């Protein structure tokens, strides 16, 4: 069965939207300016900024106005309690499995956060497995994490596809292994001079449908 490797944050689930909701609630609870939403989102950089750096920046900005425990609680949850899986993505995953694909989530991040997202959204019932960078000790675009994903389900990398929103982590990672890839644009233009994806799709459901049709 061919292998389909899928990114989690801002690919299968809208992590930024969930985190934005969590930050909005945080600002309201602590009576902080609504305009700080833009600042926190920029500091977080879609989760790519290391958690200790974000925590330090927020602690420096808010000082004694916000308990350090509240900041750490926000970042520890990482909006895992707010992510959702769209019906279109759920249906596309069902079609992929019906089409014979072995679906595996390959995600950078902390194990507790990422597994909470996978289980909360029901993705654990829709994929055959997952690998998380903290757990395996390697992160995308390193080839070892993709090999670990293949080993998790006992399927070779030959003929595999990678779907993700990060040009660096997902597309460059796929290209380094000679794998086909789909970049999930989320409405953004491709701005890289190298590491071109095999295909570009607006969202993950469209990307999965493309892989299904390409395999026929």
Other Cβ atoms closer than 10 A to 211: 23
Q: Which of 114, 102, 121 is nearest to 215 (CA)?
A: 102
Q: What is the pTM of this model?
A: 0.93
> pLDDT digit string (tens) for 148-171?
999 999 999 999 999 999 999 999
pLDDT attached to residue 77: 83
CA distance 113 to 109: 7
> pLDDT digit string (tens) for 52-78?
999 999 999 998 899 999 999 999 887
pLDDT attached to residue 216: 67
CA distance 187 to 178: 26
The residues near 75 (Cβ < 8 Å, ≥ 6 apart) are 51, 54, 55
Structure-block tokens of residue 56:
């330090």
The residues near 61 (Cβ < 8 Å, ≥ 6 apart) are 36, 39
The CATH homologous superfamily for domain 3-14+83-214 is HAD superfamily/HAD-like (3.40.50.1000)
CA distance 163 to 199: 10
**Any idea where the domains of the chain sit in the sequence?**
3-14+83-214, 15-77
Low-confidence stretches of the chain (pLDDT < 50) are none
The residues near 111 (Cβ < 8 Å, ≥ 6 apart) are 132, 134, 135
């Amino acid at each position: 069965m061919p292998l389909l490797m899928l990114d989690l944050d801002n690919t299968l689930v809208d992590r930024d939207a969930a985190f934005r909701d969590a930050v909005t609630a945080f600002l309201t609870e602590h009576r902080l300016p609504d305009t700080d939403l833009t600042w926190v989102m920029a500091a977080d950089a879609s989760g790519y900024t290391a958690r200790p750096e974000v925590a330090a920046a927020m602690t420096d900005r808010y000082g004694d106005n916000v308990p350090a425990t509240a900041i750490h609680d926000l970042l520890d949850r990482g909006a895992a309690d707010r992510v959702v899986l769209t019906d279109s993505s759920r249906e596309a995953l069902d079609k992929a499995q019906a089409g014979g694909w072995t679906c595996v989530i390959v995600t950078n991040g902390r194990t507790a956060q990422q597994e909470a997202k996978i289980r909360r959204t029901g993705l654990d019932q829709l994929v055959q497995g997952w690998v998380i960078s903290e757990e395996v000790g390697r992160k995308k675009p390193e080839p070892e994490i993709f090999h670990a994903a293949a080993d998790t389900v006992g399927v070779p990398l030959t003929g595999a596809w990678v779907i993700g929103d990060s040009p660096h982590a997902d597309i460059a990672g796929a290209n380094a292994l000679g794998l086909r890839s789909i970049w999930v644009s989320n409405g953004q233009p491709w701005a890289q001079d190298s590491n071109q994806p095999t295909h570009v799709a607006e969202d993950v459901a469209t990307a999965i449908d493309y892989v299904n049709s390409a395999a026929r």
